[in-house]
Amino acid sequence: MYKLLRPLLFKLDSESAHHLLIKVSQLAKLAPIRQLLSTIYAHNDPALKLKVFDLNFDNPIGLAAGFDKECQMFELLSAIGFGSVEFGTITAQPQPGNPRPRIFRLPEDEALINRMGFPSQGADLLAKRLSLLPRNAADRIRIGINIGKTKAVPIERAQEDYVASFSKLKEYGDYFVLNVSSPNTPELRMLQERTRLNDLLRALQAVNIDQAPLLIKVAPDLSYAEIDDILECCQQHSISGIIATNTTFSRDGLKSSSSERGGLSGRPLFARSYDIVSYIAKRTERKFPIVAVGGVFSAEDAYKMMQAGASLVQVYTALVYEGPAVVMRIKRGLSKIVAQEGVSSISELISR
């Protein structure tokens, strides 16, 4: 079905196609449509259930940040079978992001380049939308909230800005992600430096009274020494896990010859994200939860990330190239792998 739709969608520029999807997804607010989608995309295998940072997940496949920044497609995303969705990146203050066009397809590489720059309607509006989510649906699927810095706020005042967003949103998320790794907000990646990260984490944990899981999303372009620093900060401030990785500046191995600026995602990112996941898992003796993201298109990709040390996996670009059925296909494939490996659950597979 998506194979037929894709050429039409790809005639539109990426962001227009995305806005069209947001409009069409409103149909999933109707119970019969939602039920139909849930039936079409059903793969509910109890063996895929797992517990990570003390939260129960229906399955390990999550939607990566940036796809539904403002929680406008929740019903659709829940109906197509994600175990978790990560809203955001949200900023404390509303802001327009970079001028369009700012997302570019590289079909030959099954990749995207984006320089969105955190377009955001602001934390207040997201809090309002999240407060209206149907509770029974929200019970099945874990909700992550990804927070970034408002562009107009200087780096020295980043802590206040993150704390403002977190304080507005803290009652609506199951877990929270500090995005310090987007390549499209000037200076943002400086927050990955040890001193700045320590200050940021200290400020956030001070207001995290209920001890919600806080995670950090890292860039794939960091050196191993920089990752070591981040891991030390995570340990010092009781961070619950790491999301590896965001998009990359690198253009290595591309078949396409795009000169667009921005972060690259999709298949060409897999190898680098995999390396970072493997490195973090080794460094932490597989004791620190890792959410792997970057070029995951299939159950085999997801399983490779899990063998490298990931507990959960997220997708974004695969959804653009493969359509919504990719979630079901990855889950079916993982169920098969669980059976072939002779274990009783995905958790057993991950902890081997």
66 contacts ligand FMN (rule: CB under 6 A): yes
Span from 157-165, 283-291, 315-323, 337-345 in contact with ligand FMN (CB under 6 A): 315-323
Nearer to ligand FMN, 294 or 309 (CB): 294
Q: 100-121 burial, b for 16+ CB within 10 Å, e for fewer?
A: eebbbbbeebbbbbbbbbbbbb
318 contacts ligand FMN (rule: CB under 6 A): yes
Collect all residues with Cβ–Cβ distance below 8 Å to 255 and sequence separation of at least 6: 108, 109
Q: Retrieve residue 105's tokens.
A: 């397809």
Collect all residues with Cβ–Cβ distance below 8 Å to 149 and sequence separation of at least 6: 91, 155, 158, 161, 162, 185, 188, 191
Report 8-47 residues binding ligand FMN (CB under 6 A). Answer: none
116 contacts ligand FMN (rule: CB under 6 A): yes
Using CA atoms, how far apart are residues 261 and 311, in angstroms rounded to an integer? Answer: 32
Q: For residue 214, what are the β-bridge partners?
A: 176
Using CA atoms, how far apart are residues 240 and 271, in angstroms rounded to an integer? Answer: 25
Nearer to ligand FMN, 75 or 301 (CB): 301
182 is catalytic: yes
Rounded CA Rg of the chain = 19
User: Contact at 8 Å (CB) between 313 and 13?
Assistant: no
The closest of 93, 143, 144, 85 to 119, measured between CA atoms, is 93
Question: Binding pattern to ligand FMN, positions 162-201, x when CB under 6 A?
Answer: -----------------x--x-------------------
Using CA atoms, how far apart are residues 109 and 107, in angstroms rounded to an integer? Answer: 5
Q: Which residue is nearest to ligand FMN (CB)?
A: 66
Task: Candidates 64, 200, 306, 330: give the one binding ligand FMN (CB under 6 A).
Answer: 64
Task: Candidates 295, 309, 323, 324: give the one binding ligand FMN (CB under 6 A).
Answer: 295
Q: Retrieve residue 110's tokens.
A: 């099954």
112 contacts ligand FMN (rule: CB under 6 A): yes
* Number of residues lying near ligand FMN (CB under 6 A): 26
91 contacts ligand FMN (rule: CB under 6 A): no
Task: Candidates 296, 327, 338, 346: give the one binding ligand FMN (CB under 6 A).
Answer: 296
- CA 324 to chain CA centroid, Å, is 16
Task: Tell me whether strands 241-244 and 214-218 are parallel, antiparallel or unpaired.
Answer: parallel
Question: Binding pattern to ligand FMN, positions 214-243, x when CB under 6 A?
Answer: ---x--------------------------
Question: Binding pattern to ligand FMN, positions 245-264, x when CB under 6 A?
Answer: -xx-----------------
Nearer to ligand FMN, 37 or 269 (CB): 269
Task: Candidates 91, 114, 159, 165: give the one binding ligand FMN (CB under 6 A).
Answer: 114
315 contacts ligand FMN (rule: CB under 6 A): yes
In the complex, the smallest distance separating the C-beta of residue 246 from ligand FMN, rounded to whole angstroms, is 5
The closest of 137, 125, 139 to 29, measured between CA atoms, is 137
Using CA atoms, how far apart are residues 333 and 324, in angstroms rounded to an integer? Answer: 15
146 contacts ligand FMN (rule: CB under 6 A): yes
Nearer to ligand FMN, 34 or 311 (CB): 311
User: Contact at 8 Å (CB) between 97 and 90?
Assistant: no
Indicate which residue of 25, 182, 240, 278 is catalytic. 182
Please identify every residue annotated as catalytic: 182
Q: Which residues form the interface with ligand FMN (CB under 6 A)?
A: 64-66, 69, 89, 103, 112, 114, 116, 146, 179, 182, 217, 246-247, 265-266, 269, 293-296, 315-318
